[in-house]
Structure 1
């Protein structure tokens, strides 16, 4: 059995990995123009990047990072992205990459599946598996780097997101507008809307994430409806400390065992989804200006008390709530 010390040690390793990812994202915070293939190749970290034309490449990369979301806006000539076995285990493998294409075409292959995305397509990749992607010239794409656990905690089976494509994404322009605002405000040194922009983009991506399951659903319609009801109640009532797997089961008229069967095969249990949502909310409150008491933040997030919040923070980040707040402000 995994000990609490083991869990917290793992959390510290995750925090260190996230810090490396954050530092990598900051390379593009001011925008980076690329004029040669060797300059492009030097950006390789989580994967190997190569220009299709070995003699010429021009492009530009802008980046934005906040909380649990990293965004890269990439424009340029044709390239290949290869995440090989040698790259796995680098911390990025706990994330999903989501590509929103504005112009150009991307063809990708992962886990034996090949997919192609074009204008207004959304293409997803699991970073704990190898993949090979090739883009066309005149590529203009937004790349979102999101923890896999973020989607799992919202009831999304991320196993369906390997080399998957959604065409004609209805909220494509809304997402692009939010990202453009985030990058523009960053250049102006205005941090006032970072939490709002992070939440808004993640909410839109979460809504799109639920669509990937439609072609993979093995449950009957009644069970699918029950699961949707559970997720709706959980989202509305997670901040109530009295909300639990038992109360959710009672609210939809099933037993606790039946409730858990609705989410079989997921990486996060119903109780885990509750805990993750509460912890996400607590993190958001800890990022706010001022020094609200930890006990108030715990209560407002649905935890039974500050000790329960502290244990959850240590399990995720290897830090206490106060340490998390101080570390966030220092960056």
Structure 2
């Protein structure tokens, strides 16, 4: 089966899907005419990916950007743009919070393109599948899909990191590696080796970078997975899930591994954490009267 091109002309169940703070839109492009102007909110970044191309992305200032099927363009910071093309086709537009990818984008140039992305076609198929879902998503599916959308956009941007305007010169290797781990911590296939490849360094160099900060790549992966599991255990939306299920959704192999990591990090046992009252899920500083020590209940 040819996985390089997507030519499914069937109409999905919907042409727009809102998932948390993200939005996925499927736009019909009339041949020879432009779509209405778009301007993403200042806090959002939009990724434009043609299903049938090429298309032209016309910016307020500058030369139009030609985008083929194996390419994407991203725009952020409230840039106004118009999509057009000589032939009829469809375009996927994914909007995510700019904060998700800001560590990989030069703040002075929030317009860029990514060519020959290895993950683009699987991402397009996932987005089409998302638009096929007609019924509302539950709390956990929405949370997981939103996280996956973030990871996909970060992956696409990272693949084009050698292009202009990607990866801030002042962003350190540690910053980029930590951000990548945060975006991919729920993936059980995440390893120090995959992190090293993502940020463009050798595993040995990555190890030295984390050791200079007093930790290791493996330790950071475990810590961020534990934080994800802890937040899910303390969230009433996930009360219906077992500790083992939460462990899997957080990137661990199972409940036993989760318990070991929690113990190593000094966290309460998962079941004990879940039994605590809901207000404990968000730790806020206690207001302590003079001469009175804070409660040890936390």
* Alpha-carbon distance change, 116 to 160 in structure 1, aligned in 2, over 3 angstroms: farther
- Please give the TM-score of this superposition, normalised by the length of structure 1: 0.48
Corresponding residue number in structure 2 for 1:80 = 35
Structure-2 separation of matches of 1:130 and 1:178: 27
Per the normalisation by structure 2, the TM-score is: 0.53
Number of aligned residues:
202
- Separation in 1 of the partners of 2:148 and 2:173? 25
Are 1:104 and 1:136, in contact at CA under 8 Å, matched by a contact in 2? Answer: no
Answer with 1 or 2: which has the greater Rg: 2
CA distance, structure 2, for counterparts of residue 145 and residue 103 of structure 1? 20
In the other structure, the counterpart of 1:201 is 149
Deviations 1:133-175 (A, max 9, x none): 32342222111111112222xx222537644221222122321
Q: Tell me if structure 2 keeps the 8 A contact 1:226–1:252.
A: no
Per the alignment, residue 105 of structure 1 pairs with 54
Distance 2:233 2:113 in 1: 31
| Distance across 2 between alignment mates of 1:211 and 1:236 | 15
- Tell me whether 1:142 sits opposite 2:92 in the alignment: yes
Secondary structure, aligned partner of 2:104:
coil
Which structure: greater helix fraction? 1
5+ residue gaps, structure 2: 1-11, 186-207, 215-226, 241-273, 287-298
Which residue number corresponds to residue 320 of structure 1?
Answer: none
1:126 and 2:76 equivalent?
A: yes
1:69-92 Cα shifts (integer Å, max 9, x gaps): 100012341323434xxx6xxx82
CA distance in 2, matches of 1:250, 1:163: 30
For the aligned residue pairs, the C-alpha RMSD in angstroms reads: 4.3
Question: How many angstroms apart in 2 are the aligned matches of 1:177 and 1:285?
Answer: 33
1:171 and 1:252, CA in 2 relative to 1: closer, same or farther beyond 3 A? same
Deviations 1:39-67 (A, max 9, x none): xxxxxxxxxxxxxxxxxxxxxxx111111
3-state SS of paired residue (1:71): strand
Unaligned residue ranges in structure 1 (runs of 5+): 1-28, 32-61, 238-248, 256-277, 299-304, 309-331
**8 A Cα contact 2:150 2:183, kept in partner:** no
How far does residue 124 in structure 1 lie from its aligned partner after superposition?
Answer: 1.0
CA 1:130–1:190 in structure 2 vs 1: closer, same or farther (change >3 Å)? closer
CA contact (8 A) 1:97 1:145 kept: yes
Partners of 2:182 and 2:211 in 1: CA distance: 11
Tell me how far apart the structure 2 counterparts of residues 94 and 231 of structure 1 sit (CA, whole Å): 18
Identify the match of residue 67 of structure 1 among 15, 20, 26. Answer: 20
